[in-house]
Amino acid sequence: MGNSKKGNGRINFNILSMCIYIIGIILLIQLFNLQIIHGKEYREQSNTRLTRESVLQAARGEILDRTGVPIVSNTMGFRLDLYKTKVDNQTLNNTILNIIEVLEKNGDVYADNLPITVYPFSFISQDEEYNKRWKKKNNIDENASAEECFYKLKEKYEINSNDIVQTRKIMAIRYEISQNGYSSTKALKVCNNLSRKSAMELSERNAEFAGIDIVTEPIISYTSGNLASHILGTVGKITQDELDKNNDKYNMNDVIGKTGIQYVFEDILKGTNGVRQIDMNIDGTITGEYIAQEAVAGSDVVLTIDANVQEIAEKALEDNIIKISTGGFSSRSDADAGAVVVMNVKTGEILAMASYPDYEPQLFVNGISSEKYEEYNKNSALFNRAISGTYAPGSIFKMVTAIAGLESGVINTQTKINDTGVYPHAHKPVCWYYTEYGGGHGMLNVSQAIKHSCNYFFYEVGNRIGIDTIEKYAKYFGLGKKTQVELPSEANGVVAGQTQAKKENRSWYLGETLSASIGQSYNNFTPIQMAKYISMLANGGKNIDVSIVKTIIDSDGNQMSKEDKDKYVNEKLQFNTNENTDILNISEENLHAILEGMKGVTSESGGTAYSTFVGFDVEIAGKTGTAQAGNKTNGWFAGFAPFDNPEIAVVVVVENVTHGGYTAEVARDIFAEYFGMNADEIVESQEAIPSVQMLN
């Protein structure tokens, strides 16, 4: 029995050994087949097929107005990429030239940052130091002329063409390659906004252009031209510094938010890119492609602005500035810039915010020309005057002094002060009425003083209460500090008073108090701060949180909570969320007296904006202001409506005007749009011509 078991084991071992031998023979035969019989064929296939991963660009989130109208959206466009292939320099140069011929034929713009022009040879930059640094970086003698540099690069890139213009075209792309690099897996962007004609022609002739890839991608589109340009902001190609800080989220070809909402909400607007795989022969011909990972679109940012009100605000501001500068009123001045803010008085939401002059943000998407950028810089078109410009408020500040006087008890609603024309204290400042007519307004109470904008009255109130009380109430209304709107570069402004004097290590004088009481001295505020202040007057003195972003919605339709949105903004803009705001309960009687005075400005004969609003269907409360700023005078109008149940506040400032009352037309047109009126049918009365307030 023992022998039987041994015999069976030997048989099993022999069978197992035979199976192993058979499998080994099969593998050897297959290996022989692969390497010897078909080896050449498979090696050729391997050498002629490359699989590359390409970024599938995610659509950027949209920016919409409060009604859901897209102001920044995406359109599908084409991009031309170039990969490195195993071709010699001469073939590469010929390919580049052929590509450029197609692009130029269809009006497409290609990458060209070569700092040398031909006919005549010259450097684009006039900065000699910059040119020297460029030569050093490119291993060219710093004393070389533009022509010598050109031929040095021609030799470096092995360009054989004798046509200088053709050579310059080839050189532009070769220079781009040398600066940004490219490989068989990393493409160079040749054209960011490729036309459909070029895309079709290049695709059809793909075999003629080694290494090209036509990519379909979303292109950022500002759908309404210049509308809300200072709010929306710009995007542009990512810089090396930005890339170094965010290399886990971006690549060298990405665009990134630079200013405005685009900058603040960059992390939210930017989507998550996908992965596109392409098969390409060794000669650069694409043989196939597929999506390995889908892209996820960025979140949408919904603003508080109303596109219709925004459009009217921008047009009214521009028309008003042109009218002032061309003598459309009784006098002409060099008005050239301004801003307007429209705010919901109950919520602090901004319905419109315009700054003039404005700019075209679409030009920045694919790189703005140096000429256009210089033009924008020259007239400060990129500067958002609504939040970054600080101006002396002039007479629209007088309601602060009035509230301070009433609430502190130095005057009441019935107190009358006799304006004799020349105030007999400090530097003896005069009322504007004295300058115009040689006398004073006579006996006025606080409502009448606001209506007639009597300087003398507010000199006296300021003298009675002192600068500390004025400063206290100015700060209560949010003046002199950021509103913390969700935009970058907001200015703090300055409240005139002892606090500022101590910062400057100097004493404070009575004459400064008198000036501060009528909105001069060191008082300098932004239009958005003034809009908050007017809104608080209109809503009964309640503090409001100013905002220009209503909500954020991700690609799945989920809405970000207000708490998360505020936390994100505070971190991005480094806002101090622990600032304390004094809570003051303003007497209803005192507030009513102030607002009645403002109503008289627009609705009663003698009011400084009466001629603008006579016959207007909605009752407006307002105040004009004319403030000296160095050698020029700035004009203001600030108001709210409807008077009995306030909804919106409008604040306008125009630089270089003669009379602040001229700016009231901007507010009138905005009120008309908001309340559904036809501003063209409003008849202007000449019964009361706005008078300039001569301030010290």
Phi, psi for residue 679 in degrees, rounded to 5: -65, -25
Amino acid 678: pLDDT: 60
First to last CA, the chain: 129
Mean of pLDDT values over 54-62: 88
Mean of pLDDT values over 433-453: 94
Q: Which residues pair with 419 in a beta bridge?
A: 442
**Strand 63-64 relative to strand 300-303, pairing:** parallel
Task: Give per-residue pLDDT as tens, 312-367.
Answer: 999 999 999 999 999 998 888 899 999 999 999 999 999 999 999 999 999 999 88
pTM across the whole model: 0.83
Mean of pLDDT values over 397-425: 97
In angstroms, the CA 531 to CA 650 distance is 7
Read off the tokens for 535: 């809104």
Number of C-beta neighbours around residue 558 at 10 A: 9
Give 261 or 39, the one with higher predicted confidence. 261
What average pLDDT does the structure give for the chain?
Answer: 90
Tell me which residue of 474, 466, 451, 547 sits closest to 508, measured CA to CA: 466
Q: Please, which pLDDT band fits residue 64 given cuts at 50, 70 and 90? A: very high
Mean of pLDDT values over 653-671: 95
Task: Give per-residue pLDDT as tens, 555-573.
Answer: 999 999 999 999 999 999 9
User: Has residue 683 got a pLDDT over 50?
Assistant: no
| Beta strands across the sheet bearing 350-356 | 350-356, 337-344, 648-655, 632-641, 621-629
CA dihedral 327, 330, 332, 338 (to 10 degrees): -90
Task: Give per-residue pLDDT as tens, 199-221.
Answer: 999 989 888 888 898 888 898 99
Using an 8 Å Cβ cutoff, are 455 and 447 in contact?
A: no
User: Has residue 376 got a pLDDT over 90?
Assistant: yes
In angstroms, the CA 71 to CA 46 distance is 49
Tell me which residue of 550, 487, 435 sits closest to 65, measured CA to CA: 550
Task: Give per-residue pLDDT as tens, 507-556.
Answer: 999 999 999 999 999 999 999 999 999 999 999 999 999 999 999 999 99
User: Has residue 101 got a pLDDT over 90?
Assistant: yes
Residue that is written with structure tokens 């008077």 in the block: 643
Using an 8 Å Cβ cutoff, are 539 and 349 in contact?
A: no
* Side chain identity, residue 153: L
Strand segments, DSSP code E, in 307-435 are 337-344, 350-356, 417-419
User: Has residue 126 got a pLDDT over 80?
Assistant: yes
Read off the tokens for 282: 């060794």
Residue that is written with structure tokens 């600080």 in the block: 390
User: Has residue 458 got a pLDDT over 70?
Assistant: yes
Amino acid 685: pLDDT: 41
Residue that is written with structure tokens 């099969």 in the block: 26
HEC string for 235-285: EEECCHHHHHHCCCCCCCCCEEECCHHHHHCHHHHCCECEEEEEEECCCCC
User: Has residue 44 got a pLDDT over 60?
Assistant: no
